[in-house]
Amino acid sequence: MGALVRSLAPADLADLERAKRLLESPSLAIQLANAIGSPVEYLIARKLPRAATGLVDRAARRAVEAGYNAAAFTLGNGRAGKLASERMHKAAVIGSGAVGGFFGLPGLLVELPVTTATILRSIADIARSEGESPQAQATRLACIEVLALGGNRKDDDGAEIGYFATRAALAQQVGAVSSHLAQQVASGGAPAVMRVIHAVASRFSIPVSQKALAQAAPLVGAASGAALNLVFINHFQKAARGHFIVRRLERAYGLPLVRARYAALETDPA
């Protein structure tokens, strides 16, 4: 729409309100703690041993790399706007979570790539339902951006990072990808692509570490591993729906207007 548009249509404003609710749902740490019946301080105060932290970080990076290349292409060329199969993806990660929970941290390291690829496939499915092509490079990058909405990086000093701030933090790397030739990007190995993946993985490793701690809590086993994976995919499906609603509205109205209306919703009556 043109520059004279100053507001969103009522239906689109309602969609933006929904997106904001989805994107500002409770943090994964709180949701994971609730899932195992432990206070959130359990996940925040405790830390994995240094060796385990390194394993989790590397596993998260490999999982994002593998999922980036695999998720979109397993969807085929279905039409944009097709209803997303969220329940099917939930069932898949519940099964992998049960196996991972049974074997503890070693199980998590094996399970994580499968779970992450499934979550990314679900994210791509949601993107398609909001009118995007999962095979398009911009959509694939937007899909992995959703994983960055799961936690703050270790150098964020514990500050709450908002939705648009997280996108802005990745914008430079994502912009660099767009400057590469198509044949370089398609391989998934272009340096700019890898920088985006590593930036996302550095954030994604935070909730993965919280998940590892939750699975290490007393009385947590296969059943709780499945429950934790359900919390994981619920969170990222909600974040994906909110993210791609915002992107759809940005295509229609432009980023400045959508961002301004999003911010104004903080003071609007509920």
pLDDT tens by residue, the chain, 270 residues: 444 456 899 999 999 999 999 998 877 777 877 776 665 565 555 666 777 788 888 888 888 888 877 765 666 555 565 777 878 888 888 877 766 666 666 777 778 888 888 899 899 999 999 999 888 888 888 998 899 887 654 444 433 458 888 888 887 777 666 555 344 544 445 677 788 888 888 888 888 887 777 766 555 555 577 888 888 899 999 999 999 999 999 999 999 999 999 999 864 444
Please report how many Cα atoms fall inside a 13 Å half-sphere around the Cα of residue 19, on the Cβ side.
26
As given in the structure block, the two tokens for residue 107 are 């199980």
Q: Which amino acid is it at 46?
A: R
Cα→Cα distances 107→27, 99, 205, Å = 24, 7, 16
State both tokens at 168.
């802005």
| Residue pointed to by tokens 């996108």 | 167
* Cα angle, residue 128 at apex, residues 23 and 96 outer, rounded to 5°: 70
Residue 48, burial from CB neighbour count under 10 angstroms (0-12, 13-18, 19+) = middle
pTM of the complete model beyond 0.75: yes
| Residue at token pair 């939750």 | 214
162 residue type, one letter = G
Compute the distance between CA of residue 114 and CA of residue 169 in angstroms, rounded to an integer. Answer: 27
Q: C-alpha angle with apex 41: 40 to 44, nearest 5 degrees?
A: 95
Give dist(CA 61, CA 164) in Å, integer: 23
Check residue 75 and report its DSSP letter. Answer: G
CA distance 177 to 181: 9
Q: What is the pLDDT of residue 76?
A: 59
According to DSSP, residue 170 is labeled H
